């Protein structure tokens, strides 16, 4: 009798199982959805961490903010650019490696910092390479800029734009700088660049490479006598408070290469790449005009509001500096490349005169 009950129960259970399988077969037979983690990321807001080392109220700091605003608008909030100024994430010493490794997605290093990785970038730091703002723009937008950006791929970076800051001036606590001989015995802070060190050491002086955020304190304590920088950096970082003399020499140009991590850039959808490039183009046009205006305005403010003594080189004095520095071109041609040196020489001939 027990066996009969067990047999009946087994038949009932088997029937129920068959009914369940038949009833749910359409659902069970559907192909499962494949999970695409990269596509899932693109369905969410993409964050670009943009690290730089200067203040928010400098030409570069303001340009970064304008770029972030335009990206938000043009991508309809699909991309957010987070700005990290003043070296809060990375300094000049480690920001390029951080970008290569993907720890940040964007940086905007000054040209000398890039030359540590790609020596041909020293071309942009040659003394008196660019004599006018028009010459600077022609270099950025022409063959020189294209050639240098083309070299970034091998170090996992993509060149997005060139942003200007302004022409460099010399400051010191030791005395006015009018002729090259006035530099003898002085101790200057320089950016990380073998070329910049060589330029100043030609005049029998000492140099010390130093991150930007250490410069004010070094001027204040007398660790170094002076250095070179743009008007906007001298003004926003208040170097004029700890330097007695400034020479308007326009002997070099301080600019930035705006860079993106190559792997990150290539993973972005084509429509987002296009929108980010549009934002960068508009930002760059605005930023480079704004840099000129800021430097002019802040120079006038320093003249009227600070105690720093300001001297502007005459055309004749400027020519003496150009002749004194000219040998550096031949010295660094094997490192920079003959073609780039040739193009800079052509720009000097085209825009010869005062800037």
Cα separation, 146 vs 186, whole angstroms: 37
CB atoms within 10 A of CB 176: 15
Which pLDDT tens digits describe the chain residue by residue (355 residues)? 444 444 444 444 444 444 444 344 333 333 333 323 333 455 689 999 999 998 899 999 999 999 999 999 999 999 999 999 999 999 888 999 999 999 999 999 999 999 989 999 999 999 999 999 999 999 999 999 999 999 999 899 999 999 999 999 999 999 999 999 999 999 999 998 999 999 999 999 999 999 898 999 999 999 999 999 999 999 999 999 999 999 999 999 999 999 999 999 999 999 999 999 999 999 999 999 999 999 999 999 999 999 999 999 999 999 999 999 999 999 999 999 999 999 999 999 999 854 4
Q: What is the pLDDT of residue 32?
A: 33
pLDDT of residue 116: 85
The residue count of the chain comes to 355
299 and 237 Cβ atoms separated by less than 8 Å: no
pLDDT for res 198: 96
Predicted pLDDT of residue 42: 56
Residue 244: what are its φ and ψ, rounded to 5°? Answer: -95, -30
3-class SS at 309?
strand
At 49, phi and psi to the nearest 5?
A: -85, 120
Concatenated DSSP letters for 59-75?
A: HHHHHHHHHHHHHHHHT
Residue 195's pLDDT is what?
96
């Amino acid at each position: 009798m027990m066996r009969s009950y067990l047999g009946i129960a087994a038949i009932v259970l088997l029937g129920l199982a068959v009914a369940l399988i038949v009833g749910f077969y359409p659902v069970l037979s559907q192909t499962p959805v494949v999970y695409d983690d990269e596509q899932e990321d693109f369905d969410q807001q993409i964050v670009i961490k943009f690290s730089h080392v200067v203040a928010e109220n400098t030409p570069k700091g303001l340009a970064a903010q304008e770029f972030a605003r335009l990206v938000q608008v043009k991508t309809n909030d699909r991309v957010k650019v987070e700005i990290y100024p003043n070296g809060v994430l990375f300094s000049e010493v480690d920001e390029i490696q951080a970008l290569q490794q993907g720890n940040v997605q964007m940086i905007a290093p000054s040209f000398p910092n890039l030359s540590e990785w790609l020596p041909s970038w020293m071309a942009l730091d040659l003394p008196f390479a660019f004599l006018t703002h028009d010459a600077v723009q022609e270099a950025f937008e022409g063959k020189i800029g294209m050639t240098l950006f083309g070299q970034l791929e091998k170090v996992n970076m993509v060149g997005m734009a060139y942003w200007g800051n302004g022409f460099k001036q010399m400051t010191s606590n030791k005395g006015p700088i009018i002729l090259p001989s006035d530099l003898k015995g002085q101790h200057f802070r320089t950016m990380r660049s073998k070329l910049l060190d060589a330029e100043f050491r030609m005049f029998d002086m000492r140099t010390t490479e130093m991150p930007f955020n250490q410069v004010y304190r070094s001027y204040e304590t007398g660790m170094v006598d002076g250095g070179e920088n743009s008007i906007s950096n001298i003004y926003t970082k208040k170097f004029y408070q700890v330097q007695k003399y400034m020479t308007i020499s326009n002997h070099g140009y301080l600019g930035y290469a705006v860079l993106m991590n190559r792997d990150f850039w290539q993973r972005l959808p084509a429509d987002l790449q296009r929108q980010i490039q549009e934002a960068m183009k508009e930002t760059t046009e605005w930023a480079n005009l704004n840099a000129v205006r800021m430097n002019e305005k802040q120079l006038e403010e320093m003249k009227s509001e600070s105690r720093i003594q300001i001297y502007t080189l005459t055309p004749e004095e400027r020519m003496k500096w150009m002749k004194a520095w000219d040998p550096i071109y031949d010295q660094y041609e094997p490192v920079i490349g003959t073609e780039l040196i040739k193009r800079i020489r052509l720009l000097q001939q085209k825009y010869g005169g005062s800037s």
